[in-house]
Amino acid sequence: MKTVTLNGEYLTLEEVQEVAEGRARVKISPSVNRKVNRSRNFVEKALQHGEKIYGVTTGFGFLSDQVINPSQIEDLQRNLIRSHSVGVGPFFDEVTTRAIMVLRANVIAMGYSGVRIEVLKQLVEMINKRVHPLVPEQGSVGASGDLAPLAHLTSVLMGEGEAMFKGEVMSGKKAMKKAGIPLLTLKAKEGLALINGTQVMTAVGLLALLRAERLCKIADIVGACTLDALKGTLSAFDRDIQRVRPFPGHLAVSKNFQKLGRYSKIAASHKFCSKIQDAYSLRCIPQVHGAVRDALAFVRRILEIEVNSATDNPLIFPDRRKILNCGNFHGEAVAFALDLLAIAVSELGGISERRIEKLINPALSGLPAFLTSEGGLHSGLMMVQVSAAALVSENKVLAHPASVDSIPTSADKEDHVSMGTIAARKGREIVKNVENILAMELLCATQGLGFLLPLQPGIGIKEAYHIVREKVPPIKGDRRFSEDIQKIQSLIESGELLHHVERVVGGLR
């Protein structure tokens, strides 16, 4: 199994995913011990000198003016975790929880948190031994970071809360005991350090982004299938067109379509037809799919920075002999990026639904109505477009930016918040919806291609057709199409469809 080394500097989005999905273990870089220990020693010395430090010798938020007796510092940290464990709703799945944990560990590995190395080692042990705290999805406004969900995660380090271990839900204390991991008594600053940060919104957003990036390639494959099924032209994908409006995403999409549509006998059959140009949902695929790519490239840059950023408060700078109160836990940058992800990916679904309409509407497609040869007795794929339309409309609601909202919390001390975790969760749901919409389009497109046989589509399109046909037979009469959609969605989500098509045409951009 691959090992990912944490040093707080070079963690990649793909490495987070590998750990989250259980394909990699985690270890701490030797350089981390010195950084973490120096930071912790500086905190200890400040305590010895009687310095007033937010959240260490004071209360939290509005209560930060309350000075805490040194004898109650451990109680302060424990009470913080207990009082902030107020999350509700469904729990994050294990993959997301593991992503949150590795991101939190990487922040501590940077050496600005002021916690003991034992805290980091315990987090790493929990990841490697697969102790997964049950973390509710709802309850974070993304202000001082993801306070409520991270408090639920931290509870298990203390032997409280609940966790999943070896497929069984149990108390945090029991899970840690079964895994052979000693419990922690949180010392000064440690509870605060574990819950200040954007790791929940970043983890959810990161996993959604990686899924969305793959979905961009899938959208090109599916769109190319529809283009051939509708006897559309590749002329709108000519490189010269993109050269005079040189957005990187536009060029990438055009290159993909040239690969996918190569050697299409269908395209050759209507080369000299009377049609001048295609509808926007076909002709403007480079401009729409490409813009989605460029938007996601921006999201990636933001998350790559955030993954390796210190998001605690206060931050400890032992080399400069400073303990600085700050707002690095505020999720605005991530919230903006994930709102953009939601908007961009929803457009992949919107244009896909329009292509579905072109496929099933005989006035637009030249194919049998609703792609059934026995219309009337059979309804064919009529309702597939309706289902896609429902998901598109749902995405329009979900794509409303979360980051434009703010609500004061903590007696107006935290008077502006990011709503970044809500943005992340909405983006994740949109990605799932668009996977289903594209599965619906591919169901329709492959059925349409079947009506054009024996004319053969482009080589990449032909491969996609065959992969679908291995799971979903041609539609002879009405059946439960939801089962077909699910099978195609599984081909998309698993990466199987993309793998087989790229094996034939080469890597897609």
- For the annotated catalytic residues, the residue numbers are 54
444 burial level (CB within 10 Å; 0-12, 13-18, 19+): buried
Amino acid at 180: G
What CA–CA distances, in Å, run from 76 to 58, 191, 262, 398, 412? 9, 9, 66, 39, 22
CB atoms inside a 10 Å sphere around CB 487: 15
Helix (H) / strand (E) containing 343: helix 332-360
| Tokens matching residue 479 | 């059946």
What CA–CA distances, in Å, run from 323 to 326, 411, 423? 10, 25, 31
What CA–CA distances, in Å, run from 154 to 120, 161, 339, 409, 414? 12, 9, 28, 22, 22
Rounded Cα distance between 42 and 53, Å, is 12
Buried b (16+ CB within 10 A) or exposed e, 406-419: beebbeeebeebbb
CB atoms inside a 10 Å sphere around CB 285: 27
| Tokens matching residue 15 | 């490495």
Rounded Cα distance between 365 and 135, Å, is 49
CB 148 within 8 Å of CB 139: yes
Q: What single string gives the DSSP state of each residue in 207-248? A: HHHHHHHHHHHHHHHHHHHHHHHTT--GGGG-HHHHHTS--H
* 378 DSSP β-pair partners: 375
* Helix/strand/coil (H/E/C) assignment for every residue in 399-413: CCCCCCCCCCECCCC
CB atoms inside a 10 Å sphere around CB 50: 8
Amino acid at 276: I
Q: Roughly how many angstroms between the first and final C-alpha of the chain, as a whole number?
A: 28
For strands 168-171 and 162-165, give the pairing. Answer: antiparallel
